[in-house]
Amino acid sequence: MIAAAQALIRSLAERGLAGSRVLEAMAAIPRERFVPDPLQAHAWEDIALPIGQGQTISQPAVVAQMTEALAVGDRMKVLEIGTGSGYQTAILAKLARRVYTIERHQPLLKGAEAMLASLRIANVTAKFGDGGLGWPEQAPFDRVMVTAAADGDVPATLLAQVKDGGILVVPVAHSPVDQRLYRLTRHGDHFDREELGPVRFVPLVTGQAGPEVPRARSLG
């Protein structure tokens, strides 16, 4: 597994997808711990893998690209929409001061919380809820990452929670077969928008996928 991890990180570096700080964070997080047991042999292949609830853990190349585009500093507060398995959360936590993450599938959130705790990643606060609403009580955020495809455009509720000078990275679905990744940088009431290329994500769905009321829990 160590050799496979090293080979993948080296491949990402050779392709220029991320700088050393992001790649070091990715190398420090055991991706195999975040995928179902039957798929662990494939954890360090450059592919997306199913994690249950109709969701996936993103392809490492996409993780590298999105994390690099977010340009996270070690004093920053980051909002992540879509915790999933917690893999991207863990990488962000290695780079940021604090990560706030929202997941609408409670079984995934419970698994992610347990895994992050087992890895002693303590600078994450997780919430079961509607990611499309963001986390207004903790806004504004230096950085926002959305790991599901917004339909047509970025939700205004998320744009409003980006700090002036902050960055939001989000995939947007323009049609069922056309998704593109964007980096939006806030300048007052204006956002500079940069297209970063085609991607493929599950859709950003509003509401919660479970009966429980939203709750937040700090892991440290």
What are the sequence ranges of the domains in the chain? Answer: 2-218
Mean pLDDT score of the chain, rounded to an integer?
A: 93
Residue 106 DSSP SS3:
helix
Task: Please name the residue ranges forming H helices in the chain.
Answer: 2-14, 20-28, 60-70, 87-95, 106-118, 156-159
- Calculate what percentage of the chain has a pLDDT beyond 90: 90
Q: Is the pLDDT of residue 208 over 80?
A: no
Q: Which long-range contacts (CB under 8 A, 24 or more apart) does 10-14 make?
A: 11/46, 12/46, 12/60, 12/61, 12/64
Q: How far apart are CA 148 and CA 202, in angstroms?
A: 5
Q: How far apart are CA 162 and CA 160, in angstroms?
A: 6
pLDDT digits (tens, 9 = 90+) for 144-176: 999 999 999 899 999 999 999 999 999 999 998
Residues catalogued as catalytic: 58
Residue among 51, 47, 39, 65 nearest 8 (CA): 47
Q: Is the distance from CB of 195 to CB of 91 less than 8 angstroms?
A: no
Angle value at C-alpha 54, between 104 and 106, nearest 5 degrees: 30
Q: How far apart are CA 22 and CA 85, in angstroms?
A: 19
Q: Is the pLDDT of residue 215 over 80?
A: no
Q: Pairing state of beta strands 178-187 and 162-175? A: antiparallel
Q: Is the pLDDT of residue 213 over 60?
A: no
Q: Is the pLDDT of residue 188 over 60?
A: yes
Average pLDDT over residues 46-55: 95
pLDDT of residue 214: 47
pLDDT of residue 2: 84
Q: Is the pLDDT of residue 20 over 60?
A: yes
Q: In sequence order, what are the beta bridge partners of 81? A: 102, 146
Q: Which CATH class is domain 2-218?
A: alpha beta
- Calculate what percentage of the chain has a pLDDT beyond 70: 93
The whole model's pTM is what?
A: 0.92
Q: Is the distance from CB of 168 to CB of 146 less than 8 angstroms?
A: yes
Q: How far apart are CA 188 and CA 119, in angstroms?
A: 38
